[in-house]
Chains A and B, each alone.
Chain A
Amino acid sequence: MAQFQQDKGKLDLTPKRFNMWLFLFTSFMFFAALTSGFIVYIGGKGHGLNIKMPAAFMYSTAIIMISSITVFLASTAAKKSDVAKQRAFLWLTLLLGVGFFAMQIYAWYVLSFEMHAFLSNPNASISFVYVFSLMHLIHILAGLVLLIISLVSTYRKTPQVLNLFRMEMSSIFWHFVDIIWIYLYVFLLLNQN
């Protein structure tokens, strides 16, 4: 038994929480690299982002900001062990997440079919808009998976520690992808002319 005296570490979720934060760093570096690439690109050849961002991006930004609030409400409910409320807000967040996803794809539709700003474009600053949003959508997908995992554990007999941990993981990640999108959108707005 002595052996496991210090093995409380096995259930100690701190290192895993820490892993999540480190992962956010890697993601952040990824988007920082993409946006730096954009700056280097427009600095070099005199190609600017000569289109206005479609309004769909503004709607999607609104959607994801609301979803950040709902995921926050879900975690506060989880902390109060109010499973029904947590479940409801998680469902809402999930729905908003899917809505965001759809809205981004609609934005691509507007970009290509209405504005004729295509992905393969001699002006790669427009291609960057697609790459930014696509790479961000991949993160959204991961976020949705995390949300689904938290949601599933509310339907199962999950110990409250784990339930809270999962809730925390998904909400950290969801807030992060939210912030990344706002960063990307503001970045694009500042660079459009």
Chain B
Amino acid sequence: MSTLSVHDHGVAHHDHDHEHHHNESFWTKYIFSQDHKMIARQFLITGIVMAVIAMILSILFRIQLAYPEKSFPLMETLLGRFAPGGRLDTNFYLSLVTIHGTIMVFFVLTAGLSGTFSNLLIPYQLGARDMASPFMNMLSYWLFFVASVIMMASFFVEKGPAGPGWTIYPPLSALPKAMPGSGMGMTLWLISMTLFVASQLMGGINYVSTILNMRTKGMDLWKMPLTIWAFFLTAILGILAFPVLVAGVVLLIFDRSFGTSFYLSDIVIQGQVMPMEGGSPILFQHLFWFLGHPEVYIVIMPALGISSEVIATNSRKPIFGYHAMVYSLIGITVLSFIVWGHHMFVTGMNPFLGGVFMITTLIIAVPSAVKTFNYLATLWRGNIQFTPAMLFAIGLVSFFISGGITGIFLGNAALDINLHDTYFVVAHFHLVMGSAAIFGMLAGVYHWFPKMFGRMMDEKLGYLHFWLTFIGAYLVFFPMHFMGLDGVPRRYYSFTEIESLKQWVSVNTFITWAAIFAALAQVAFLFNFFYSMFFGKKAPQNPWNSTTLEWTTPVEHIHGNWPGEIPTVYRWPYDYSKPGHDEDFIPQTVPFSQTLSSNLPHDFEDHASHDNHEWVNTQKSNEEVK
């Protein structure tokens, strides 16, 4: 801690140089940067790279599912021993599923999403020069980077990457000899995830501290944009949930390497009875899902926050039910800690306990529905600007509804007996958490690209990207519901081996082609992203006519964000199309004294300052005269 303060202490010496002659070298500017904007971009680009890798992995196992009998010599050329004879190795298939899940959930939708937008927007939208601890912020990125490298490195160990699924249930994960994917690959997985959690905790601590301590003048909590509320509550979730995963992983490491039996009992490997006894694999599930469930909200809440902002801006309307939005985020945050048991209905849990978890789970539908209705009500009769960001935000709402509804089925303890571990679950979470969160992230990328890189992305390619991805995602995940209802289990290698699954191979072929189609659509995004970064149209300062603070900063990034004083905030962030004002937006920095034609008594309800009182009194006396 103390070394950090010394570090920042130095900044005070810059007092005299107004022009910002920071003698930054390449290393301190682009690599070990402590600037929140650079760190945000580092997180985003690392996240995109990881997303592409995880997407390619998914295409590999989709090919196996579509053509279980066919061999592809090209695959052997590419994957070598992992695809002998051109067919995926069975154990490597499990590794692919595991690493695809791990990367997407943690590396893309947790670090890539929160890391990018919390870092970018928290200081920008709150009016802070940087994060509470820029050094810790840098450390957070680099731990994430090292975690990513280690996770990828597991493809190069002899027996391949971890294979027990992204939930790493013991005993598979606890016995290095259980299967190839339980060996070195699993060890690397655990190391990588430990670093990842450290990175997320550092990030999360910074976000919370910055939001609570470093808001500019006038920015009280109820004037914060919904993005910030979402990042704030997400960070709190992370701070409370990730340590529990670490506790679970510590016990797992003891089981793996020190011969304890926290999770192990009655194990027989290759006819040999193992000495471990008395452990309970269910204990791991409790510890894992105590993180795991909040984790899915860590994934979706920032996306929800981003879409609130994008939808309000592009509907040119105040967000419908700002307070309701915040309270439902808080509701989701609190409830997310008492629903983890719905992942464990079929573990032999006491049916009474199952009932309790069912009720808490179904209650989460309430705040989620409040948010959905608020999005729709914001869109209702808005002056909608269909920018690519807006399309993606609307896409999020669509996926959130269609994926959320199946959550009500799965949250039912009785129905779950049938649906547990089937493709119905796969369809559910890929829509509500995967697609919805990715769409939220893409909405954020399209919306804040001008802020991040000072250039605009191409709109036409954006539309192409949106429609292909949107249609592709539904084509991939919608048929899976029917497979799941028929009882098709997830993670099965070959559908031709089992009589009852054979009829689904044709559907699998369809899904695989849809997936390839959707994956190719991402080329439109990747090209657009990297091309526009260097050759895009130069961005104006406030391209979307937005009200929030980040658009008051100059297009060229400067250290400290604002060249002069940090602007003061006077109003909430959603004054779009306010009746009586000449423009259809009023930035947060415009005081009420400059907008006399549009002020409403409501504007002064909470924090009546001196001049506001005056204004209200004048209004009142005018009324009396009338």
Q: How far is the CA of A10 from the CA of B8 in the complex (A)?
A: 7
CB distance from A180 to the nearest CB of B (A): 13
Q: Are B259 and A120 in contact, with the CB atoms below 8 A? A: yes
**Chain A CB within 8 A of B260 CB:** yes
Counting from the closest, the 9 A-B pairs by CB-CB distance are: A120-B259, A15-B132, A33-B247, A30-B243, A33-B244, A29-B243, A127-B260, A15-B213, A166-B2
Given A33-B287, A40-B283: A6 and B205 interface contact (C-beta under 8 Å): no
**Chain A CB within 8 A of B23 CB:** no
Most buried by A among B132, B201, B277: B132
Q: Are A26 and B242 in contact, with the CB atoms below 8 A? A: yes
Enumerate A129-174 residues with CB–CB distance to B below 8 Å: 131, 135, 146, 149-150, 153, 162, 165-166, 169
Enumerate B12-43 residues with CB–CB distance to A below 8 Å: 12, 14-15, 18
Chain B positions 221 through 253: 1 when the CB is less than 8 Å from some CB of chain A, otherwise 0: 000000000000000000111111011101100
Q: Are A124 and B278 in contact, with the CB atoms below 8 A? A: yes
**Chain A CB within 8 A of B150 CB:** no
CB distance from A116 to the nearest CB of B (A): 15
Residues of A within 8 A of B6 (CB): 162
Residues of A within 8 A of B566 (CB): 6
**Chain A CB within 8 A of B136 CB:** yes
**Chain B CB within 8 A of A69 CB:** no
**Chain A CB within 8 A of B415 CB:** no
**Chain A CB within 8 A of B583 CB:** no
CB distance from B417 to the nearest CB of A (A): 22
Chain A positions 94 through 138: 1 when the CB is less than 8 Å from some CB of chain B, otherwise 0: 000000000000000000000000011111100110010001000
Partner of A3, one of B9, B18, B243, B260: B18
**Chain A CB within 8 A of B280 CB:** yes
Chain A positions 51 through 89: 1 when the CB is less than 8 Å from some CB of chain B, otherwise 0: 000000000000000000000000000000000000000
Partner of A26, one of B15, B201, B212, B275: B201
Residues of A within 8 A of B625 (CB): none
Q: Are A13 and B278 in contact, with the CB atoms below 8 A? A: no
Residues of B within 8 A of A23 (CB): 201, 205
**What are 20 A-B interface contacts by the 8 Å CB criterion?**
A3-B18, A6-B129, A9-B214, A10-B129, A15-B213, A16-B4, A16-B5, A16-B132, A25-B239, A26-B240, A26-B243, A30-B243, A30-B247, A33-B246, A34-B251, A120-B260, A122-B277, A124-B260, A162-B2, A169-B2
**Chain B CB within 8 A of A190 CB:** no
Q: Are B565 and A2 in contact, with the CB atoms below 8 A? A: yes
**Chain A CB within 8 A of B209 CB:** yes
Residues of B within 8 A of A14 (CB): 213
**Chain B CB within 8 A of A20 CB:** yes
Residues of A within 8 A of B204 (CB): 22
Q: How far is the CA of A18 from the CA of B196 in the complex (A)?
A: 22
CB distance from B516 to the nearest CB of A (A): 42
Q: Are B132 and A18 in contact, with the CB atoms below 8 A? A: yes
Enumerate B555-586 residues with CB–CB distance to A below 8 Å: 560, 562-566
Q: Are B206 and A19 in contact, with the CB atoms below 8 A? A: yes
**Chain A CB within 8 A of B78 CB:** no
Q: Are B12 and A10 in contact, with the CB atoms below 8 A? A: yes
Q: Are A131 and B209 in contact, with the CB atoms below 8 A? A: no
Interface size of A by Cβ–Cβ distance < 8 Å? 53
Q: Are B205 and A11 in contact, with the CB atoms below 8 A? A: no
**Hey, which bits of chain A sit against chain B, CB under 8 A?**
1-7, 9-11, 13-16, 18-20, 22-23, 25-27, 29-34, 36-37, 40-41, 44-45, 47, 119-124, 127-128, 131, 135, 146, 149-150, 153, 162, 165-166, 169
Q: Are A41 and B244 in contact, with the CB atoms below 8 A? A: no
Partner of A47, one of B210, B251, B278: B278
**Chain A CB within 8 A of B609 CB:** no
Given A11-B12, A19-B136, A44-B280: A26 and B247 interface contact (C-beta under 8 Å): no
CB distance from A151 to the nearest CB of B (A): 11
In the complex, which range does the number of interface residues on chain B fall in? 35 or more
Residues of B within 8 A of A162 (CB): 2, 5-6, 9
Given A16-B1, A27-B243: A10 and B133 interface contact (C-beta under 8 Å): no
CB distance from B512 to the nearest CB of A (A): 40
Q: Are B279 and A124 in contact, with the CB atoms below 8 A? A: yes
Q: How far is the CA of A146 from the CA of B4 in the complex (A)?
A: 12
Q: How far is the CA of A107 from the CA of B8 in the complex (A)?
A: 42
Q: Are A15 and B214 in contact, with the CB atoms below 8 A? A: yes
Most buried by B among A5, A47, A131: A131
Q: Which residue of B lies closest to A159 (CB)?
A: B9
Most buried by B among A22, A36, A166: A22
Residues of B within 8 A of A165 (CB): 2, 5
Q: Are B18 and A26 in contact, with the CB atoms below 8 A? A: no
Q: Are B259 and A9 in contact, with the CB atoms below 8 A? A: no
Q: Are B4 and A131 in contact, with the CB atoms below 8 A? A: no
**Chain A CB within 8 A of B48 CB:** no
Partner of B213, one of A5, A18, A47: A18
Q: Which residue of A lies closest to B20 (CB)?
A: A3
CB distance from B130 to the nearest CB of A (A): 9
Q: Which residue of A lies closest to B276 (CB)?
A: A122
Given A131-B250, A166-B2: A29 and B240 interface contact (C-beta under 8 Å): yes
Q: Are B133 and A15 in contact, with the CB atoms below 8 A? A: yes
**Chain A CB within 8 A of B208 CB:** yes
**Chain A CB within 8 A of B11 CB:** yes
Residues of B within 8 A of A123 (CB): 278
Given A10-B8, A40-B280: A25 and B240 interface contact (C-beta under 8 Å): yes
Residues of A within 8 A of B14 (CB): 4
CB distance from A160 to the nearest CB of B (A): 13
Q: Are B136 and A6 in contact, with the CB atoms below 8 A? A: no
CB distance from A15 to the nearest CB of B (A): 3
Q: Are A41 and B280 in contact, with the CB atoms below 8 A? A: yes
Residues of B within 8 A of A122 (CB): 261, 275-278
**Chain A CB within 8 A of B352 CB:** no
**Chain A CB within 8 A of B621 CB:** no
Q: Are B258 and A7 in contact, with the CB atoms below 8 A? A: no
Q: Are B5 and A33 in contact, with the CB atoms below 8 A? A: no
Q: How far is the CA of A3 from the CA of B17 in the complex (A)?
A: 10
Residues of A within 8 A of B251 (CB): 34, 37, 131
**Chain A CB within 8 A of B439 CB:** no
CB distance from B293 to the nearest CB of A (A): 14
Q: Are B201 and A33 in contact, with the CB atoms below 8 A? A: no
Q: Are A5 and B565 in contact, with the CB atoms below 8 A? A: yes
Given A30-B244, A131-B250: A22 and B15 interface contact (C-beta under 8 Å): no
CB distance from A131 to the nearest CB of B (A): 6
Q: How far is the CA of A20 from the CA of B4 in the complex (A)?
A: 12
